[in-house]
Structures are given as structure tokens and as C-alpha cells.
Amino acid sequence: MKDQVMQLKQRGIEAVSIHSGMSRQQVDILLDNCIYGAVKFLYVSPERLLTEIFIARVKQMKVGLIAVDEAHCISQWGYDFRPPYLQIAALRELVPDAPVIALTASATEIVCEDIQDKLAFKPSSLVFRKSFARDNLSFVVRKSENKEKKVLEILQKVKGSAIIYVRSRKATQEIAASLVKRKISAAYYHAGLNHEERSKRQDQWIQNITRVMVSTNAFGMGIDKPDVRIVIHLDLPENLESYYQEAGRAGRDGVRSYAVMIYQDADVSNLQIKTEQAHPSPEVLKRIYQALANYYQLAVGSAAGESFDFDLHDFTDRFSFHTAEVYVALKKLEEEGLIQFNESFYSPSQLHIAVDKTKLYEFQIANEQFDPVIKMILRLYGGELFSDFVKISESYLAKGLKISFQEMIKILKHLDELKIIMYQPVKEKPQLTFVLPRQDVSRLPLDTARMAARKKLTMEKMNAMIDFVTTQHRCRMQVVQEYFNEITFNECGICDVCIEKRKKENIRAFDEIREEVLNMLKKNSMTVEELEEKIAPREHELFVDVIREMVDDGYLEYDASWRLKLLQQKR
């Protein structure tokens, strides 16, 4: 939400968002500005819709449109179901004249129908669908015992910007370091990095200063980069919806691009184990929920809508839990609508003047020691401070006043205690928000029947993902389309299965290219580009596939300078 707000503001469109980590005063002021100010877009998570403060204010707003993004989350048949999305229908009753649009990039037929039902769409409502087929995106699956070597080969063959997705934070660092060692510009990205580092790496990748981003699935949401040439997955995603969304970040400019899955047999069993572990029992959920209540010392009925810094490792150490056990439990408690867990949270320092100009002037007269500070704040950040929270830099203020950073923080906190300003220091730790008031664990509202149905659905989606990877006889784009209920008899012609089929149909041309490659490389090694220029094949895709197969079969290999050469034993 914050990324989209930032992008809108850069375009001169006034937008705000209500998100976890905000104080009640911040929310209060922000909603007032939506009623009386010039705010055009208000972004709000479904968890916030039915809070008292939001209900009271939204009735006073002039709402022109309700837009539901990631609408598949409203359906229990969707891959990322979240019960708070069900509350959106109640918003329609509060603003009955506002039209509603629901958007999703990954919904099956049953999910589309469920979205319309849960949002109380009228029978006359319209459904707009775009084909799931991507004419320029080639799906490729490679089975390999040496994933790193295969990645290097792919990056050599396919030029341009790339994303490599892995499951663990440790793997992002190891793979990025390995690529850099081989003179390939790469960086890693995961939710554990601080905001400044994440932003820096993201910007350098978008500007093509860094070629390859090695990341967990924390990377990619809201990224507007059309020229990604290749997306590589080194771990199997949990379902085809996630995979289609992540792979689809390649080639948004319409130019030929590749989505490559590299897997081993062990990856299939690992996914099956991980999927099973992602559904902890109600007893485990209750035990961890009680530990959260103890961790924050919360009484039953308290903390509704409140956000807290959350240190996963400190929590697991204190209560002797396993990290993986806690992580999946938090995700399941979030799915049940009890909490929100934001593991890559950042909110800059913000300040709002809590009194009117007259009272502020009187305070300055009566408290001379604070007068230079207040004047500096007003001079740097202006009159907007009286109507809204404004981002500030404590170090910049300290430099202007010629005092230390620590002294500046101390003064701002003191002014906050005196209720002259509202000061929110920077927040960069993961945030845990109690969506509902702290519950009595013995009556924790877990829908066990729905949890069982969700587990069954998740296992089915996992099996569909495994079938996609292991199939060797059907066009991969066709498999994706049919998964999303788009029945087609058209084959893409550019996935690995289609190319293999075309190769068999055109075996003579394949053999001719192969012989030419062998002859050309008998005397000298060459780059792929040099070889293709010399041979001048009629089909680029067929040539690339010949090279790939000859490398896989051990006839060719790349040397340290990425030139192809014949292997001695195969000559």
C-alpha cells in the first residue's frame, strides 16, 4: 500500500494509507483529511474496515469508488484466503451509492464466482477477463543436480535483467555471492534487510545497475519494471497461482522472456513436507497465541487494532519454540483473522503539532528553551504540521540546531510528553497487530471445519504445482490456462515441451545445426553469439535448444570466459 501511495504522490495525486504500526492519533488525523482535505485515494487493509473509528468517518466521506485489490483473498477457494476480506461487503452498506470493482490476476472460475457472491455483486454486474496466455513468455523446466551451474548457463544464454527466487534468506545471500564471484552483477533481497538497504538494492536493480536480484518472495509486489528478461525459481512454489504471478514479472514489455524452474526430485518431497507443516493443529495455534498475549502482557479484551514490534527470534527463545513452527502459526492466525504479521515493515519518523497556532505561540513564550526547536521545525516542514503527520529527519534538525542526534530525540520526546507535538520515531522492526481484541485462549475463535477444508485445498494446489513441473508431454502454457479454467487447444510453441516436440518433428534441421556446431568448434572456441552468427540458423529457438542439449549431454561446455568449446572425450 505504501509503495502505491508513494507512486501516486510522485504523479501529483494525493493519496494516503492506513496500515499496521500507525498510532490511533495518526489514523484519526488521516481520516479527517479524507473528509475535509484533498485526498483522492485512501488505501486501507480489510482488517481496519470495521473498526469504530473507520465506520464513523467513512460515512462522512464522499466515496466515489470501492476498489478491492487482490480480490481472490475473499474466497475460501483462493490460494491466499483471508477472512477479514469478508468484511468488505459490510462497507457497501455504509456507502451504498459507491460502485465496486474487484481485481485479481490469479483467480479460477470458482474463485471468480465466489468473489462476486461475497461482495454482493448484482446479477447484472460485468466480469472482464484477459487470457492467461502470455505470447512472449516461455515456460521452461529443467531437472538438474547442479542448480548453480544451470543458473550460470541460463544467465549466459539469456541477456538482460533477472530475478532468482529461493525460499530461504540464507540462500539469497549465498547465491548472490556466488554470482558476484563469477563477475555477474547481483544482489540479494529479503524481509530481514532494513528499509534503506531494501530500497537501495531495489532501485539499483530497477535502473539496471544490478543485473540479477536473488530474493525470497518478499520481492516483486508493486515493482514496475517492464524489461525483466528472465525469472528463475530454484525452489518449487506452493501453488500455480503464486508461480504464475511471480513468473509473470518477466517480459511485461512484450519482448520474449523466460520463466525457468530448476528442480530436483528432493524438491518435490520437500514441498510435500512443507505444505503439511503449514497447517498446525488448533492446539499449537492456541499455545502460540497465549504466548503472544504473555509476551506483550495483554489482558483479555485489550489491544484491538494495536501494533507491536515483534522480534521472532527473541519470542522463540523466550518460549522455547522452533522458529519455523512459530512462523507458520503466525500465518495461520493471520488467515483466521486474529492477527496481522508484517515482517518487512518500515515507517519513517513523523511529527504533528497537536495544538493550534495561538497555543503554540503561548508555549514558546513561556518555554524559551524550546523556542529554537519549534522555529526550526516550522521553518523546515511548514504549516502542514498543524493538519497532518509529516515525515521528518531528526539528524537534519539536529544539524540545523547544532546539537547531537540523541539530544534532538530527547527534546522531541519531551515535547510529545507535554502534548505540544505528536512524535512517532522511525519504526523498522516487524509489526504484529491484534486485529481482534486479545481473546481468551479457551474460546479462541478458530473455524476448524474451514481449516480442514483449507488444508485439503492447499494439498490439491500443491499437487497441481508438482504436475506442472513433472509433465513432459503437454504445452506448459496450456497447462496453466486450463488450471485457471481457460480451455484452449492452442499450444504456445515456445515452452520447453513445445520446442522438444518441434525438434522431433524437425529432427533433420536439428541434426544439421548440431553437425555445424561440432565443425565450427573443432578449431576454436566461440561465444554463443559468434556461433549463431556463423551458422545463421533459420530458427533462433531451435539453435538455442541444440546448444542447450549439447551442453546437457556433455558434448560442449563453457570456459571461464563463457566461450563454448568441445569436450575432449566427446570429440
**Which residue's entry shows cell 533477472?**
162
Which amino acid appears at position 413 of this protein? K
* Matching residue, cell 485445498: 457
Contact of 502 with 493, CB cutoff 8 Å: yes
pLDDT at 178: 95
Instruction: Give the pLDDT confidence of 468-521 residue by residue, as tens digits.
Output: 999 999 999 999 999 999 988 999 999 999 988 888 888 888 899 999 999 999
> How far is C-alpha 79 from the geometric centre of its chain's CA atoms?
15
What are the strands, taking DSSP E only, across 345-434? 350-353, 390-391, 421-424, 431-434
Q: What is the pTM of this model?
A: 0.77
Q: Quick count: other Cβ atoms within 10 Å of Cβ 329?
A: 23
CA distance from start to end of the chain: 58
Bridge partners of 24, per DSSP, are none
pLDDT at 569: 53
CB atoms within 10 A of CB 404: 11
CA dihedral 283, 287, 292, 297 (to 10 degrees): 130
Question: Quick count: other Cβ atoms within 10 Å of Cβ 338?
Answer: 22
Place of cell 501529483: 12
137 and 257 in contact (C-beta within 8 Å)? yes
pLDDT at 455: 93
AA identity, residue 462: M
Q: Name, in order, each residue with C-beta under 8 angstroms of 38's C-beta and a sequence gap of 6 or more.
A: 14
- Alpha carbon 313 to its chain's center: 22
C-alpha–C-alpha distance, residues 411 and 73, integer Å:
44
Q: How far apart are CA 371 and CA 117, in angstroms?
A: 59
The parts of the chain modelled with pLDDT lower than 70 are 20, 222, 568-571
pLDDT the model gives residue 570: 55
d(CA 190, CA 173): 9
Here the cell at position 39 is 485526498
R_g of the chain computed on alpha carbons: 28
